[in-house]
């Protein structure tokens, strides 16, 4: 059975107790989350549980990819800042230099917070699975 949305597709295979979730980013990237029920637990598996686990796994992949993109952007800005800094026309108090520096600081902040979010979702997923096992 399929549940379609523009940015979210979930597929539940009731026979094999298998959930697949695809989260699409407006930029075209897609993130896949998978969850399958252990054969010993087939009698208590549900679509909701499978989709929840698969969605959290897809979210973790999306966050990791976004963090990687932010690191690339930061690296490019740092290289540009280094080049600008060596220029004879460099003005530490200039508008462009301040904006470039602020943007680099924002990327550093974002990278750190995305890392925290990834860890939090991983902890939530682990806790959710442990609660379902009990």
Residue of 55, 46, 49, 48 whose CA lies nearest to 21: 55
What is the pLDDT tens value at each position of the chain, 134 positions in all?
455 567 889 999 988 889 999 999 888 899 999 998 877 777 778 888 889 999 999 999 999 999 999 999 999 999 998 888 888 887 888 888 889 999 999 999 999 999 999 999 999 999 998 887 77
Give the Cα separation of 68 and 2 in Å (integer).
31
Exposed, middle or buried by CB within 10 Å (0-12, 13-18, 19+), for 122?
Answer: middle
Give the Cα separation of 21 and 32 in Å (integer).
6
Using alpha carbons, list the distances in angstroms from residue 39 to 16, 46, 78, 126.
Answer: 9, 13, 51, 20
């Amino acid at each position: 059975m399929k549940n379609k949305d523009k940015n979210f597709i979930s597929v539940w295979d009731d026979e094999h107790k298998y959930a697949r979730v695809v989260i699409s980013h407006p930029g075209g990237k897609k993130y896949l989350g998978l969850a399958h029920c252990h054969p010993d637990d087939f009698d208590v598996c549900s679509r909701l549980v499978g989709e929840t686990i698969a969605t959290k796994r897809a979210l973790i992949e999306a966050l990791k990819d976004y963090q990687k993109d932010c690191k690339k952007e930061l690296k490019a800005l740092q290289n540009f800042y280094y080049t600008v800094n060596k220029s004879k026309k460099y003005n530490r108090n200039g508008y462009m230099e301040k904006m470039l520096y602020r943007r680099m600081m924002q990327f550093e902040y974002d990278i750190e917070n995305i890392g925290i979010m990834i860890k939090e979702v991983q902890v939530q997923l682990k806790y959710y699975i442990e609660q379902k096992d009990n």
